[in-house]
Structure 1
Amino acid sequence: MDYRKTLVDDDFVVPFELVTDQFRLRMLSINDLIKDYDAVMSSVDHLRNTYSLISGSNWPVGLTLEEDLIDLGWHQREFTLRYSFAYTVMTLDETQCLGCVYLEPSRKSSFDVVVSMWVRVSELGNGLDSDLYGTVKTWISELWPFPKPRLSRQGNHSRQWKKIPDDL
């Protein structure tokens, strides 16, 4: 990540939350630790299969609560510095974390932001992944200053994405 440049200009008002009739998207923070950890641990195999092709890691296999706290703190700090933006996907009553959405700088000049997302395994059958993708796609195009976003659903950009050379 290039920490010399923020993802958005200083005068851009970063959306704090997005509320639909199904879920609430808001900044991911250390206060979400228990709910986030529960969502991640409920979907370990699914997330490992999704992200191993992209990052080459086994995340989140073996993730500890302490490591998740560090990860959330890092996401929270990058959000406040405007380097990247991590949002938690919560039920409307905030009792359960349903997944996450990440906006990160692209290392490929053909895109100005990479937007990735995941939902917990228990929500795949009811179509939340499709609903989240559609909602986020509209949200990015209407509210964010990214003319060339790269949106990715769970596990949907791994091999093709790796074929595009990094040039930034």
Structure 2
Amino acid sequence: MKHLYKIILLYFGFAAFAHAKPLDKIIESETNNIFAEQRADFQEGNALIRKSIVELIGIRNEDFETPEYILVSGCRPNSCTEKASVMFNRAGTHILGVGILHFNCHFLLREKEIGEDNVRLQEVRPPQKCDKDPTLTVYVIRNKKNKIGELPERKVLAAIEGWAREFNFTKKDVRIWDRN
């Protein structure tokens, strides 16, 4: 019985993994090409944007497909309140936009009295205070080649905002990002 359970678990685990794999590979390669070594403060400070996207899409939802695009979304395995979505062209070959729902965190500056002189120094790693409401950061990817049939940037933004609307974001940061 133990072996049958392991075989069933292995089969279904592999089937789910195999289904998601093609777009996952494109997400990794496209985000590497688009964002390279760029950094931002999302789920952790000064993180690589490309790694944040892959991590924040970790637990995948069902892909949303329209005649114009495919929207892949998911959430961070350790904190499903932090999420990401990646919008592909209909062929699923390249990224049109990325949405990241995150909580802006700010370092709290603490001072500490040291020695007889009461010299005040900042601690090396102060604690963080994070916003209670999520921020939506959107990267609209501008293709320099402007392929015919590509969605206009406003439609990409509207689709990602539509995905995020159910999560009640209070702030929005939109960035137009030129593809290399």
TM range (shorter): 0.3 to 0.5
Larger relative contact order (CA 8 Å, sep ≥ 6): 1
Q: TM-score, normalised by structure 2?
A: 0.43
